[in-house]
Amino acid sequence: MTLPDARQLSRAVEATWPAARRVRAGPWTIRDGQGGGQRVSAATAEAPVSAADIALAEAEMQRLGQPCLFLVREGEDRLDRLLEEAGYRLHDPVALYAMPVAALTDAPVPPVSAFTIWPPLAIMRDLWAAGGVGPARQAVMTRVSGDKTGVLARTDDAPAGAAFVACDGKTAMIHAIHVQPDLRRRGVATNIMRAAAHWAQDRGADTLSLAVTRANDAANRLYSSIGMQVVGYYHYRLK
């Protein structure tokens, strides 16, 4: 099968991890993140921009009480250069991964290793909070209107990890993966991915995808090891 490209996955990220509000200001989309993280708080260009347009986006983000943060996609070289010249530094380059759902549904999820649950249990919320996904980011999950679920992983009869999955058409995006540090390298994350794939397949999705910072070496190695492919990149520019 042909995997989605970076633009398609960017739209899927937008649908499955949505901002509280999006407004247009000149050539920009400005996101009101309400503490939900960088992706839901960044400005993106929807039309060609000039150096003078940057001030307009800055004013809108400051009005929302957010840092001046821009998301730059592949091919937006001129925007990237303008932001660099305006004093914005490169911040958190991100890789977009995808794979066919069928590549992880060829075998069942090991017994009692991972469960799909919605709404999330208290232990799932605690696991997310321990991994930096606090109430404001958990509120992003609540805003998703389409098919969605949480994944609770267990090992040695103890809670081991959690994740959030949501569908945008035939693409299922995984977010907020957290595995307890003392239980890593024991297959917990792979069990989460497999459970997510089975759930996605049951809802008609054919692609499993996610976004991860390129600096997260362990996560990038894991996703490559299970057959995920990088289909694109984006990065942020921060004042």
Per residue in 6-58, pLDDT tens? Answer: 999 999 999 999 999 999 999 999 999 999 999 999 999 999 999 999 999 99
Q: At 36, is the secondary structure helix, strand, or coil? A: coil
| CA–CA dist 32, 54 (Å, integer) | 17
Check residue 3 and give its pLDDT: 97
Confidence of residue 170 (pLDDT cuts 50, 70, 90): very high
- Give the residue-averaged pLDDT of 92-104: 98
- Give the residue-averaged pLDDT of 129-142: 98
| CA–CA dist 168, 147 (Å, integer) | 8
Q: Where are the domains of the chain?
A: 6-94, 98-233
Q: Give helix then strand counts, H and E, for the chain.
A: 7, 11
Confidence of residue 196 (pLDDT cuts 50, 70, 90): very high
Closest CA to 184 of 155, 208, 225, 211: 155
Check residue 85 and give its pLDDT: 98
- Do the Cβ atoms of 208 and 193 come closer than 8 Å? yes
Check residue 141 and give its pLDDT: 98
Tokens 């070289």, residue? 77
> Which CATH code, of 3.40.630.30, 3.20.20.70, 2.60.40.420, 3.30.420.10, is assigned to 98-233?
3.40.630.30
- Do the Cβ atoms of 172 and 196 come closer than 8 Å? yes
Check residue 238 and give its pLDDT: 98
Q: Within 13 Å, how many C-alpha atoms sit on residue 23's CB side?
A: 10
- Give the residue-averaged pLDDT of 85-92: 98
Check residue 192 and give its pLDDT: 98
Check residue 169 and give its pLDDT: 98
